[in-house]
Chains A and B, each alone.
Chain A
Amino acid sequence: GDSVTQTEGQVALSEEDFLTIHCNYSASGYPALFWYVQYPGEGPQFLFRASRDKEKGSSRGFEATYDKGTTSFHLRKASVQESDSAVYYCALGDTEGADRLTFGKGTQLIIQP
């Protein structure tokens, strides 16, 4: 079945560092790809999505580019702030017509001031 792999379980950075969180997917079709963010004590929130190869999604300074060749959708931000500390989830949309998402295991981002 479809799956999402986030290689980093935790990333620790200092303020103003460059962020990359890796996301690779495996799917039989051509899925839409998503990033969600979860702040402590809250439910996940939609960050952005991309639906086709080479499309870039972005929001709040974060961005990711759909790469069908490498089956990746890596999250990047040029300069992180302490307020970016959260858990980030990569997800893919179902490729067989169901209105559902498959999430990765999440990456905990810790920003030290």
Chain B
Amino acid sequence: EAAVTQSPRNKVAVTGGKVTLSCNQTNNHNNMYWYRQDTGHGLRLIHYSYGAGSTEKGDIPDGYKASRPSQENFSLILELATPSQTSVYFCASGNRLGSSSYEQYFGPGTRLTVL
């Protein structure tokens, strides 16, 4: 069974502080993703990665950095957290299946509150 874990599960941060959200996958998938989920917006892609050392910008990358030090780990970094970054963050891993198809397996989410 696919396994994606996230830590911490809940985080309270102060405005201007640095926040690091961590994700680990044991699926041996090449690709990993970071999304945020907000009411009225659904799931929006922040950053993604095709493998160790690679990061790509998603649809809403401003204010976020990503780091992929290994196949298993993918971090999302908020250098200067702002209240607008209060959200639930999901990590996912996945592989391409054929020419036009792929699945993504999601972690349980991290609830971040920036005060």
Residues in chain A within 8 A of chain B (CB atoms):
30-32, 41-46, 49, 51, 89, 93, 98-106
Contact = CB atoms under 8 A, between A and B. Distances in A.
Given A98-B56, A99-B50, A100-B48, A43 B96 contact: no
A101 B104 contact: yes
23 contacts: A30-B100, A32-B101, A41-B108, A43-B4, A43-B90, A43-B106, A43-B107, A44-B90, A45-B106, A46-B104, A51-B98, A51-B100, A51-B101, A99-B48, A99-B50, A99-B102, A100-B33, A100-B45, A101-B45, A101-B102, A101-B104, A105-B41, A106-B43
Residue in A49, A100, A102 whose Cβ sees the most chain B Cβ within 10 Å = A100
A44 B31 contact: no
Nearest to B56: A98
Q: Main SS of the interface on chain B?
A: strand
A64 B45 CA distance: 24
Interface of B: 4, 31, 33, 35, 40-45, 48, 50, 56, 58-59, 90, 92, 94, 96, 98, 100-109
A51 B96 CA distance: 13
A103 B42 contact: yes
Contacts of B98: 51
Contacts of B35: 103
A42 B108 contact: yes
